[in-house]
Structures are given as structure tokens and as C-alpha cells.
Amino acid sequence: MSHMLPDYPRIQPQTPWPIQDSVSERIQMAFRATGSGEPEPAGDTSELLADGRLIRSERMARVEAVLLISRGALTANRLGQLAGLSDAAEVAEMIATLNEGYDRGGSAFRIEQTATGYLMMTRPALVSWLDRLHERQSQLKLSPPMMETLTIVAYQQPVTRAGVESIRGVQSAEMIRQLIDRGLIKVGGEEDSLGRPFLYVTTRQFLDMFGLGRVQDLPDYHSIGRKATAKAEPAESIEENTSQAA
């Protein structure tokens, strides 16, 4: 007997990081907004104030922007070319000024010179925190069976494992275990029936992951149970008609 999963609304993890375009495309968009992108005469009007504030010129802002969106190190010549500056020496001077501004202002970033060029990097003191954040972000990658199981729990909660499996049509113990390990669902009680099976519900981490304030903010889906039953009724009717004909 085949099982069909109810047509749940699609819920997608929310992430604060935008999807990056290629460096060249982003820079070209910026140049179209601010000017032609042609190299300008040497000289910069940026100013580092006594209180640590850095007043950036448009030229310096372009250098900083290119470094922020670059996926790899850039040589001074390449950076100057992308940012529309006249020469590599001017790039080096701007980077020194930016770093001084970062240091005075307690910025999380610093521009480092590596073997292959300049690279915008976070300060070493933040590395352990970023590692934990990266580990959390990896939890957003759910396999289709896990996403299917999570969706059923989200809309049917509180629900037993048997309830999940009756909709999916396959064993779901491993999917439930993995979702518990990731902190997306938890045991919310026991059903008052034979064997007192666990009831599963979603967690606060689930709400954060999908950008929800509460479970009631899930995409609207009316009478999931009745729709699932309605899909099964035609098969039951055929069986009844066959029995009557016999």
C-alpha cells in the first residue's frame, strides 16, 4: 500500500547571511551606482580623527568593500584595479589607515597581508565563537527525509512516532533521533494510551531556525488530519465496493 504525504506548506530555514554573487558582479553593480569605475587621480581625502573615528573617502570605501566581498586574497595591483585606484602604493596606504581605524575602534576585522595578497580577516579572539556559530549553521542542512519528518511534527504536534510513521509510510525512529540530536524537536510528554508512547514537539531552536515567533506563525494549513484521511478514503471505498460486489 502506497502512502502519500499531505501537501504541507513549505517551510524554509532562515539565515542572516545573504547569498554571495561573484566578486566582479558585485563590484560592477557598485560602480554603476557610484560612477564609471575608471581609475582616479592619486590622493585620498580620508581622515582618521583623534577619537578613533575614520572618515572614509569614496575611494577608501571601495577598497574596503572589495575586501569584504572577496572570497580570497587579492594582490595590491588587483585590489587597486577592482577598486578603481591609480596604483598599488595607494592601496597599501589605505589599508594601513583602515587597520589603524579598526584597531582604535575595536573592530572585529583586520586586513592581513598573506603570501598571496590582502585578506579581510576576523581577529583571533573571535575564532572560537565563530567556530560555534559555524557548527550551528551546519544544522540548517537537513536531508529531505529529515525535513519531511520535521514538517509533520511541526504541524501535528504533539505527535507520537507512530503518528509520524502513519503519514510518512516508513520507519521514522532514526529521523526523530537525529532531529532530537540537533535540538529541533524534543519529547513533550506521553500519550495516555497503551505503552504510553512519547509525544514529540518542536523546540525554541526550531522557531529560531525558521524565523518564527511561535508555532502558530507556521504557514497556514487547515485540517491536516482531515486532508490526510480524505486522501485515503478513495482506496477504502474501492475495497468496500469490491467486497459488496463479491
Boundary residue ending a domain (104, 126, 148): 126
pLDDT number for residue 55: 80
**CB atoms < 10 A from the CB of 72, how many?**
9
The answer to whether residue 101 is domain-embedded is yes
pTM of this prediction exceeds 0.75: no
pLDDT, mean of each 10-residue run, the chain (246 residues): 54 45 49 48 69 82 90 89 87 91 85 87 74 62 89 93 93 94 93 92 86 81 49 44 44
pLDDT number for residue 164: 95
**Peptide linkage before 16 cis (omega within 30 of 0):** no
The answer to whether residue 27 is domain-embedded is no
pLDDT number for residue 22: 46
Domain range for 114 is 39-126
pLDDT number for residue 141: 77
| Whether residues 103 and 156 fall in one domain | no
Q: Residue 245 is inside which H or E element, if any?
A: helix 224-245
Boundary residue ending a domain (90, 106, 126): 126
| Whether residues 225 and 170 fall in one domain | yes
Angle, to 10 degrees, between the axis of helix 58-69 and the axis of helix 23-34?
160
Q: What is the CATH number of the domain that holds 178?
A: 1.10.10.10
